[in-house]
Amino acid sequence: MPERDPYGSLYTLLGTVPDVRDARGRRHHLADVLFITLVGIIAGAEDAQALEDFATMQRDWFRDRCGLRHGIPSQDTYLRVLAALDPRAFGEAFQKWVAELWGPGTAKHVAIDGKTLRRSFDRAAGRSAVHSVAAFASERGLVLGQVTVQDKENEIIAIPKLLQLIDVRGATITIDAMGCQTAIAQAIQDQNAHYVLQVKDNHPTLRGHIEDFFTDVRRDNRPLDDPAPALSEASEVDSGHGRIEERRCLISRDLSWIDTASDWAGLSGIAMLERLRENKVTGESSRERAYFIFSDPDATARRINELIRSHWSIENSLHWVLDVTFNEDQSRIRTANAAENVATLRRAGLNLLRDAPTPPGTRGKVSLRRKRRFSLMNPLYLETVLRIPPSQGS
């Protein structure tokens, strides 16, 4: 890499993405276009016109970084590049970048879930909205990778592809009922990871066996020749949002009730999570139970309870943030591959913003929205977010 290149590994990895443009009409380096797009997204740009305006406003900063031999790329350039770029190759570069920046195999819990880009459909081209599956490291709040669910596929097919791209060694993977499949359990075990999978009515027999087990084991009157299997239990109480919620998790390693236990690679135990809710105002109460299978032979009831609860951080800390902070659900960038590639860049920007220090002069916890605003207003802070050395003009 040339000594003058200040991007380091980020620029190098962006440059590994194959450039499918015709060489005769190519004016801007692909890595430069992608870098400007990433920086613009971090600073609040949400469409191609905003990207061009932001780059024009920061022309000197980008000239110092990229050279800009042919000036600022136009909005049409961003759209053409993002539409033509191979999402799979771009996604693989993103996963390498995550592993290089934050280290491979460091996540203890990885939640996997799907999200639809609701305005990415294109009726004229006959394309439905883009649906992707992401892996989210809950402790750090980082996206480890994502894959798009292709037409005529579903998450059951996409999840094993995602697992092959990321390093989850030693982690526990949580997936909702859609991912409760023997092939996915095997894929997780093949990656030297553990799983906690929710069991619903897509596996009615398995769910029935687990439900019957926990009903039987909690009977008050048991004959002497039928002692109850050993259970481990953990509970916690939360009081907020106008209600009191008690969460009780019971686990057992007795698999004698599970006729299909041998079909699930590494199956170690079963779990029941019981949620008791009471409305503080009305006094009304409700009870619901959910059932799970898990593979970690050393997992405690407390740990399983934590993992199940942490799974939903992917909804609150990833999907909700992308929609509210990055306005993802309202994005109309949708030509060809553009929606998928911009989604990858948003997640790259989210990782950088979440891991960045608080802006100078601020107090307390700073929201991602404020970090984006500081990135727009303060080039020095933007360079901190990007993890690159200050430019010569800073």
Instruction: State both tokens at 368.
Output: 């991602």
Residue 260: pLDDT band with limits 50, 70, 90: very high
Looking at this protein, which amino acid is placed at residue 356? Answer: A
Q: How far is CA 299 from CA 109, 171, 173, 261, in A?
A: 13, 12, 13, 18
Residues whose CB is less than 8 angstroms from the CB of residue 124 and which lie 6 or more positions away in sequence, other chains included: none
Among 96-100, 226-230, 265-269, 305-309, whose mean pLDDT is lowest? 226-230
Decide if 251 contacts 304 (C-beta within 8 A). Answer: yes
Q: Per CATH, the architecture of 91-219+228-321 is what?
A: Alpha-Beta Complex (3.90)
Instruction: State both tokens at 35.
Output: 């870098």
State mean pLDDT over 185-192.
Answer: 97
Residues whose CB is less than 8 angstroms from the CB of residue 35 and which lie 6 or more positions away in sequence, other chains included: 7, 10, 11, 14, 65, 66
Domain ranges of the chain: 9-85+356-386, 91-219+228-321
Instruction: State both tokens at 394.
Output: 């800073």
pLDDT at 240 exceeding the cut of 80 = no
State mean pLDDT over 60-77.
Answer: 91
What sign does the CA torsion over 149, 153, 156, 158 have?
A: negative
Helix or strand or coil: residue 197?
A: strand
Residue 5: pLDDT band with limits 50, 70, 90: very low
- Total-model pTM: 0.90
Question: What is the pLDDT, as a whole number, of residue 127?
Answer: 76
Q: How far apart are CA 345 and CA 327, in angstroms?
A: 13
Pairing of strands 194-199, 109-116: unpaired
Decide if 52 contacts 79 (C-beta within 8 A). Answer: no
Taking alpha carbons only, the member of 158, 38, 177 closest to residue 97 is: 38
Residue 218: pLDDT band with limits 50, 70, 90: confident
Among 52-66, 113-127, 228-242, 378-392, whose mean pLDDT is lowest? 113-127
**pLDDT tens string 339-350:** 999 999 999 999
Q: What is the mean pLDDT of the chain?
A: 90
For the chain, what percent of residues have pLDDT higher than 70?
A: 96
Decide if 35 contacts 73 (C-beta within 8 A). Answer: no
Looking at this protein, which amino acid is placed at residue 246? Answer: E
For the chain, what percent of residues have pLDDT higher than 90?
A: 68
Decide if 372 contacts 353 (C-beta within 8 A). Answer: yes
